[in-house]
Structure 1
Amino acid sequence: MSLQIEMDDPARPDVLALLEEHLRNMHELSPPESVHALDVSRLKTPDITFWSVREGGLLLGCGALRQLSPEHGEIKSMRTPAALRRRGAGRAVLEHILVEAKRRAYTRLSLETGTPAAFDAARRLYESVGFRECGPFGDYRLDPYSVFMTLDLRPQTE
């Protein structure tokens, strides 16, 4: 069976349960002032597009794209359920977000993730598609619990 990625409502019951798992986990790993995960109300704002990844109706993950400016987007709420990892959903939604960011003509895509070891797999996933560490962007500040990453989306000339 193949993965289906579609725009979705973050308040949909199974998605909401996944986002609540995400927020709980972020608060377990970082102090409150270092948790930048968005709750459902903040994921429903006009500057954010939210997708779910499903296989045969089963929710395998989610991700969102926030427009920071007409040229700059931010990846938010990338999550797969702890019990359903390693099925390709994270990579699939990341690639979907990359395609959408390029379609929107963003020149840069950025994200914030955590520094604890629990975030190692996420950082490796982002690095595998070209993201590199950078300084804080947008409203973020330096934080020992945060890693900031960015990807230049401008066409590369030789």
Structure 2
Amino acid sequence: MSELVEIREDAPGGPAARALFDEYIELVRERLSLPADFEPPEHIFASADVFTGDGAAWLVIFDAAGEPIGCGGLRVLEPALGEIKRMFVSARARRGGHGRRLLRELERRAAAAGMERVRLLTTVVLHEACVLYATEGYREIDRIQPPAGPPEIWLEKPLYS
């Protein structure tokens, strides 16, 4: 990891989350050739309120200058099952291990909350994410072909304490 960073809890609807969300949406629009007014459906992105409560978390990675460079959330689906959502690292901070650190911290929190498994949804056009999840032990559990666009992939990983 090339630069000093801090991973900390932050407001899921706050300025850092909004800036990173906007960058994420622009990346998705570009890779999928989507119109400028594209907004992801709820099942893909989830509203900010799902990252509050017991076992849930919203984390932001801040660089040494205090700028947000990545984010991710954990929500509880069932007592032993969590879902990682909105996992994203800014293009300017990729290839520094920040996504891996964030993913591991979300998994650590899930295990500490009693979850035995975590799952997440991604798409084949998010190549960097697919590689990260595969190297961290996630396995495909389902693939959905939406009416338009590339397949959505559900991945899952068992957590060991």
Structure 1 length normalisation: TM-score?
0.79
Which residue is equivalent to 2:58? Answer: 50
Q: How many residues align?
A: 146
Per-residue CA distance 1:74-110 (angstroms, 9 max, x = gap) = 1100111122212221111101011011101111110
Q: Secondary structure at the match of 2:24?
A: helix
Between stretches 18-27 and 144-153, larger displacement belongs to 18-27
1:1-158 equivalences in 2 (<5 Å): 1-30=3-32, 36-38=43-45, 42-45=47-50, 46=52, 48-56=56-64, 57-116=66-125, 119-135=126-142, 142-143=144-145, 144-154=150-160
Calculate percent identity across the aligned residue pairs. Answer: 29
Q: Secondary structure at the match of 1:86?
A: coil
Structure 2 spans left out of the alignment, 5+ residues: none
Structure 1 spans left out of the alignment, 5+ residues: 137-141
Shift of 1:126: 0.9
Counterpart-to-counterpart distance in 2, 1:17 and 1:104: 28
> Considering only aligned residues, what root-mean-square deviation do their CA atoms show, in Å?
2.4
Counterpart-to-counterpart distance in 2, 1:128 and 1:61: 19
